[in-house]
Amino acid sequence: MKQLIQLCLVAVALQVPLAQAQGNNQKSNLSAVSQVVSTTTVNALSASYLSSMMGGMGVFRWRLGDASDTGLGLKGQAAAAEDSPWSLWATPVRSTFRNNIEPITSSGAVTLGIAGLEYRGDGPWMGGVSLSIDHLSASTRNSAASPVTTGSLTGSGFTLAPYAIYQFSPTRALDLSWGAGRSSMDYVSTTNSNPVDHRRLASIGLTDIHDLGRYFLMLKAGYSLTKDAVYASSGNSETFLRQTRVGAQLMMPGELYSPFVAYYQLYNNLTLKGDGTSPVEYSTVGQVQLGLNVASGPVFGSLVLQHERDRQQLRAYIGYRY
């Protein structure tokens, strides 16, 4: 009888940590979901900085004074004898996403409003500072939990990022950026919380464009770092993604429509910390893009469908070339 009681006590003691582990599995790693804001922001910022290069995304831009030559044969709207090296630019970005990588899956949309102050003198260097306002709306699912848990994550925030560009030639440039920001969010699931995401990001990229007659070939290589640390009453989590991106885009320019196709190979290194179910990221994956650039006078727009293994994204840009 005494031995039976001892065995029962041991069984109870073993069940306590098991129940705690199951309770921890109920929690999704929120930084894995909110990281989509950081990756969307770092890619959109790089495209915005290079907007004056062929095939780049257009942005709304205003010269602070008279406009100057862009170095690509594109003159400002009011070229004059005295040039102003300062300009303001802005662009809205809308990106819908679907991440089907188990055990933490998500879908939703990221909306960005990006603006910047830029200085461009006579030399090859140019640079400035950008401010990105973001809004995230996502639904989440944690299949590792028992039972499976679902939730919704919404939030708004900002990212402040200085940047610099070195232009080797009118069609070859190196871009650098680094930044920090935060987002305040609402998470509704089995328990509600108000997590705060503190993000850090940095990127370096090389762009080289070649004129092939009827086509433009844009070669790109880049390396980015995004770190998201989410603090919540239900537990803290952190993701640190190092990503190398190498590939090319082929565009057929037209007077109004310019379709393009692109392929990039991504190499990912994901580091995780904190509570909750750990997300999964493929170490290497191919990414295909199909897009259409539309231009009418100075107005420029772009629609991009992006697909990689178990992940899709649809992005829309609108801008104004100077």
Our count of domains for the chain comes to 1
- The tens-digit pLDDT sequence of the chain (322 residues) is 444 344 333 333 333 333 323 333 444 568 878 888 999 999 888 888 776 554 455 566 666 664 444 433 333 333 333 468 888 888 888 889 989 888 889 999 999 999 989 998 888 999 999 999 999 999 999 888 878 889 999 999 999 999 999 999 988 999 999 999 999 999 998 778 899 999 999 999 999 999 999 999 999 999 999 999 999 877 788 999 999 999 999 999 888 899 999 999 999 999 988 766 777 888 999 999 999 988 777 677 788 999 998 888 988 877 665 5
We report the CATH number of the domain holding residue 313 as 2.40.128.130
Cβ burial 145-168 (10 Å sphere, 16+ → b, else e):
beeebebebbbebbbebebebebe
State CA 22 to chain mean position distance.
32
In the prediction, which pLDDT does 64 show?
Answer: 67
In the prediction, which pLDDT does 279 show?
Answer: 77
In the prediction, which pLDDT does 65 show?
Answer: 61
* Interatomic CA distance for residues 14 and 17, integer angstroms: 6
Within 13 Å of residue 283, how many CA atoms lie on the same side as its CB? 0
Q: What residue numbers bound the domain in which 86 lies?
A: 2-320
The CA distances from residue 109 to 16, 34, 131, 190, 227, in Å, are 39, 11, 19, 22, 20
Amino acid letter, residue 118: E
Q: Which residues contact 131 (CB under 8 A, 6 or more apart)?
A: 114, 115, 116, 158, 159, 160, 161
Contact 90, 114 (CB under 8 A): yes
**Angle CA 106–110–112, to nearest 5:** 165
In the prediction, which pLDDT does 2 show?
Answer: 47
Write out the H or E segment, with its range, that includes residue 17: helix 2-25
In the prediction, which pLDDT does 236 show?
Answer: 85
In the prediction, which pLDDT does 311 show?
Answer: 86
User: 61: which 2 tokens?
Assistant: 């831009």
Within 13 Å of residue 257, how many CA atoms lie on the same side as its CB? 4
In the prediction, which pLDDT does 301 show?
Answer: 79
Residue whose C-alpha is closest to residue 280's, from 35, 21, 20, 19: 35
Residue whose C-alpha is closest to residue 203's, from 173, 239, 168, 245: 245
* Interatomic CA distance for residues 61 and 80, integer angstroms: 17
- Whether omega for the bond prior to residue 103 falls within 30 degrees of 0, making it cis, is yes
Write out the H or E segment, with its range, that includes residue 232: none
User: 44: which 2 tokens?
Assistant: 């959109």
| pTM for the model | 0.79
**CA-CA-CA-CA dihedral for 267, 177, 167, 115, to nearest 10:** 120
* Interatomic CA distance for residues 177 and 127, integer angstroms: 9
